[in-house]
Structure 1
Amino acid sequence: MAELNGAPVSFEALQNLALTNYGHFTSMRVEDQKVRGLSLHLDRLVRDARTVFDADLDPDRIQAYIRHAVGERTGSFVTRVTVFDPDLDLGHPAAAGRPQILVTARAAAALPAPALTVKTFPFSRDTPQVKHLALFSQLKLRRAAQLAGFDDAAFTEHDGRISEGGTWNMAFITEEDTVVWPEADVLPGVTMHLLRQAYDRTAHAPVTLDDLPAMRAAFSTNTSVGVRAITTVDDTPFDTRHPVLDTLRKLYAAVPGEQL
């Protein structure tokens, strides 16, 4: 399923997207026609369109395109909304200002997702507040992590603070059962936002690699996996059965979905 502005997308439009790769997106796990944090996803698309294209998007129009593309499909799946300009000229990106709405879907992984091993790399994402399409650097480091025997990559800032993964936020659980979200320039994830609202014992503070041995558990979050335990960060092990992880999963599952 792939629709552009409510109609089947053309090869030419997809070719332009593939060759220029300029735009932004959001992904949502749909469960029986409902999405946790749907309004937050729509807000993200509107906000990022102003940054990327200096354009205003109508959230109701975006939702209508999603609803049309999804149709009567039931069960769990992930839908992605990509905002790009099919007429963008690589030589004249300043002319890009008519963003269009591409809606696609893929199968959703079973929950909970298996625990993750993570290798850290010094890296700062370009324009981290925007969920943009430029994933080359993140995928390059994910590949490097996997070649080194890990599942994925996480990033540290120039001053040693841990920030996020390539396509997910991360957090740590202290001995006092406080969930610490790293203080750094990271993508403001929707799942992270919902969990911070749902769990009272939350802190936002710098976390460095030297702080990791004092942490009891670690996890990643995004819309596709919810709460995913992290087994190790580099050579630091974590408890993947920590009771707070189960609490967070239950709290997230209890967040009411918004109707498409």
Structure 2
Amino acid sequence: MFASWINGALACGEDLLALALTNYGHFTSMQVRGRAVRGLDLHFQRLKTATRELFDASLDEARVRAGIVAALDAAGVDDAGARVTVFSRAFDYLRPDRSVPVDVLVSLSPPREAVATPAWVKTFAFQRPLPHIKHVGTFPLFQWRRQALRDGFDDALFVDARGRISEGSVWNIGFWDGAQVVWPQAEALRGTQEKLLQAGLAEVGVAQRHMPVEARALGGLKAAFAANATGVWPLSGIDDLALRPDPVLMESLQAAVRAMPLRPL
């Protein structure tokens, strides 16, 4: 990790105490390349929408942009993983209904790309609270991933109370039925990479469909993949069902990503 900056200044332990003690806030993670980001507008929209819902406050896009640029300047880098966390040192858990000003925390880490190694995942019955918000309540995500690893799998995949596949621990999932990409319908965090893929697949002419996908009824699906801000990677199996990674599908997905332009900060 390079370092963290809060409201444009280098963060210290006292600055982060409110976030650590209350664990109330939200964030977005992006990969910066040459001081540009794919889906930058999607990250800004995510931050602004969640700030209104959690804090009854507005968030200026220019403030976020300036915070990221200031962090890159201070670190002396143009490529990085950037996490933007919105919280409030004025937040009072005794009166969480009050509108409070927000703080913007930018944390930089070395740039990262998803590895192409296929992953075999295990399903768990779990639904994140407020699944549409990328909030800082990540404990269960990592606990289920830990359990999956202890059970000999590579990661955790969640299903809802009706048995429908929703999302992975920190990624979205898509399927291939041999003719089109199938996006599972269930309550989940709709990731920026998922949205970029959907737009990019439309650009390159790949058919898509949204429908409920039950974990126990995957027989008609030929391949699956995972996606988040670091990229896209194939899945080799779900529970006891083996899946064969499809090189043509993966190339189509990569082409869809490349079809989406980088937006300068």
Please indicate the TM-score interval, normalised by the length of the shorter structure: over 0.9
The 5 A counterparts of 1:62-211 are 62-71=64-73, 72-75=76-79, 77-95=80-98, 97-176=100-179, 178-200=180-202, 201-211=207-217
8 A Cα contact 1:87 1:96, kept in partner: no
CA shift in 2, pair 1:240/1:131, >3 Å = same
How far 1:43 moved relative to its partner?
0.8
* Runs ≥4 residues deviating over 2 A: 87-96, 108-114
Q: What is the one-letter code of the residue matched to 2:137?
A: A
Which of these residues, 237, 243, 249, is aligned with residue 244 of structure 1? 249
Q: Report the alpha carbon displacement of residue 140 of structure 1 after superposing the two structures with TM.
A: 1.4
Q: What's the offset of the Cα at 1:188?
A: 1.6
Match of 1:46 among 33, 45, 48: 48
Q: Once the 2 structures are TM-superposed, how far is the Cα of residue 92 of structure 1 from its aligned partner?
A: 3.5
Partner SS, residue 93 of structure 1: coil
Shift of 1:253: 2.5
- Normalising by structure 1, we get a TM-score of 0.94
Instruction: Give the TM-score normalised by the residue count of structure 2.
Output: 0.92
Which deviations, in whole Å up to 9, do the C-alpha atoms of 1:26-48 show, x marking residues without a partner? Answer: 00011111100001100110000
Structure 2, unmatched stretches of 5+, are none
Deviations 1:114-162 (A, max 9, x none): 2211100111110011000001111111111111011111111111111
How far is the alpha carbon of 1:93 from its aligned partner? 2.9
1:213 match: secondary structure: coil
> Following the alignment from structure 1 to structure 2, what is the Cα–Cα distance between the partners of residues 238 and 208?
16
Shift of 1:87: 2.9
- Correspondence for 2:260 among 252, 255, 259: 255
1:6 and 2:8 are equivalent in the alignment: yes
| 1:15 Cα offset (Å) | 2.0
The answer to whether the 8 A contact 2:226-2:235 is kept is yes
**AA in 2 matched with 1:131:** K
Query: What is the identity percentage for the equivalent residue pairs of Structure 1 and Structure 2?
Result: 39
Counterpart of 1:234 in structure 2 is 239
Q: Which moved more, 1:143-152 or 1:92-101?
A: 92-101
- Any unmatched runs of 5+ in structure 1? none
Deviates more, 1:84-93 or 1:150-159: 84-93
Asked if the contact 2:52/2:58 (under 8 Å) is kept, the reply is: yes
How many residue pairs align between the two structures? 257
**Contact persistence 2:90–2:100 (CA under 8 A):** no
Preserved contact between residue 200 and residue 259 of structure 2 (Cα < 8 Å): no
Q: CA offsets, 1:189-216, max 9 Å, x none?
A: 1110111111131110000123312211
RMSD: 1.5
Q: Is the 8 A contact 2:145 2:156 kept in 1?
A: yes
1:94 positional shift: 3.2
Whole-Å Cα distance in 1 between the matches of residues 113 and 44 of structure 2? 25
- Report the Cα offset of residue 218 of structure 1: 0.5
